[in-house]
Structure 1
Amino acid sequence: PLFILLCFLFQITAKAAVIFVTLQYNVTIPATEEQSAETISLYHYGIKDLATIFFYMLVAIIIHAIIQEYVLDKINRKMHFSKTKHSKFNESGQLSAFYLFSCVWGTSILVSENYISDPTSLWRDYPHTLIPFQMKFFYILQLAYWFHAFPELYFQKTKKEDIFRQIVYIGLYLFHIAGAYLLNLTHLGLVLLVLHYFVEFLFHISRLFYFSDERYQKGFSLWAVLFVLGRLLTLILSVLTFGFGLARAENQQLNFSTGNFNILAVRISVLASICLAQAFMMWKFINFQLRRWREHSSSQPQSVKKKFVTAKGKSSRKERENGINGTVTSNGADSPRSRKDKSS
């Protein structure tokens, strides 16, 4: 990034550096009567977006290293985590910061564009080829962040057995975010991303609290409820958008020049992809809950056994003190004496 920024110092290289730093493909259109400005700038996508994504991918790597060095590593030194907890703590620390940032930013876009108050905006006036600056920048940074996760597998020295899981995890994000961006489904994609990120943020922040105090379990219980509700709400919004909104649109002809992908095959493919992703996450969720239940069930008999042994030890000591079963009693005169037995 520093090399690209230095290119702005020279007039010859400044034009090339602009492609990496600023958003491309802006279109100026007249403002409506409700808007105060005379003109507004909207954006669409193109091949030059790859250069912008590459630049902000490098920025994400730098920010990742700063958070790791000055925040997470300092906490790890104080808490003295094991190697397993150390890697999971770093993962949750990085992701919770990213999810929180994305949720706040995405929610502000939803409120400013009135997508929450008017659900029909998810499919109305499709294709959404022209989007405001904040929304395009949001998608650019989302793609840049998940692309940066690939080199981080090397920088973080991820275990070989965890690499495939991480690649699948990252690939699912890139596939769905890029799909929403390229198919001009940015309105629906933004709503589903904010919903999903909020649930994931709750999970990772709960795991951070759990590492600091293993008695903390309330956050996981709340996350489990919201996770299921999030999957249901995602399916409901997707079915409404593709099954009712876009299915009833007048223009249902494939046209690459206008960015219209509203045909039956595309709608079924996108809806099937979303449903399969939700089913995959529910399967992982059920396995996670079953594993937690088994661990809790296996640890419970051991704790009961320890309590039983402790209680037995305490009672036997009490019995010895009270002189039960012919042992030493509180009154020494009442107890038999071995010396006297020998003399007799």
Structure 2
Amino acid sequence: MHAVGAEQVEEAVADCVAALGTVTDRDWTGVRAGRLDWDCRKTAAHIADDLIAYAGRLAGRSASGYLPFTISLDEDTDNAGVLRTIEATGALLAAAIRTTPRAVRAFHPYPFRHANREGFAAMGVAEVLLHTHDVAEGTGIAYEPPAELASFALTRIFPQVRPGPTPWRTLLWATGRGDLPGREPVTGWHWSNNPVLRSERLTLEGVTPATAADLSLAGDGGYEWVGGATAEGTREGAGIMVKQYEEGLFHPEWGMYVLVRRDDDRAVGAMGFHGVPDGDGRVEIGYDLVVGARGHGYATEALRTLSRWALEQDGVRTVAAVVDHGNVPSQQVVDRAGFTRVFEDVEQISYELRG
């Protein structure tokens, strides 16, 4: 399957080199890079350091921490040499993204201590765009990258940032580098890779705004689905998530999770919460399997895992599920997962699992 992100890393690096290549004849060492405490030289070198670090973690399948290496430029490296190093390390990250299997996750601290290849691509793009901006600001040149690159980063690692007037202005605001009308200045921030939970046979992968948008438009979301396509309920749920993102109400932990079989990396369905827990500590859950994956206990297994996780979170006391009267298989799923019937009318049955 196509490795999304490699081309975006290459485009971001090319844009960086083109912009900063116009000022390589200037002194970068004695000039502060935008709002950073670093000078322009150190900031540009940091871009290369991040790119090779991300490539190393992906290629090495680093699971528990940073790799014990960093880049050290020769003392006589000029500014053009720094840019050549950015080009080389960007190519290495793009290659690592293309050659890393979709399901692989490697260490990154924010916020769940891991990221997949698409997450590393988004982080690499963000580092290149933002620090190119910092150096450009320090050297007094105008810089604005393609809107698609800023959007690529926002919809993958800034899921809780409500879209603004333009992707680039929104990304600058989200990282404390600019202002947006009607929004308070950002003084502290970090990006957020998608959450992942594991059950006996499945990996529950949290959906990003980018994935939700693709699924809502009948795309595959970057997954190979049993039977070749998602279920209708998954597309509808993804559409709801897109609206939440547009309204600034997207919370990745309390959104949708795609259920992926670990033995063949194929998606069997989706499960997720209708929103964040309410004031009484109650959260509602829903799910949907593709037809070809039903009857194997996947829904029960995933429901137990996701419900247990929810009840372990601070303030959550009840996980609820509502099932149609005629949907007997779904009723059996919630029964096997330990839910109790609490109310029913002529159309639906309400279930609860309490902590």
Scaled to the shorter chain, the TM-score interval is under 0.3
Relative to its length, the structure with more strand (as a share) is 2
- Report which structure shows greater RCO (CA 8 Å, sep ≥6): 1
Q: TM-score, normalised by structure 2?
A: 0.26
Mark the structure with the bigger radius of gyration.
1
Relative to its length, the structure with more helix (as a share) is 1
Q: TM-score, normalised by structure 1?
A: 0.26
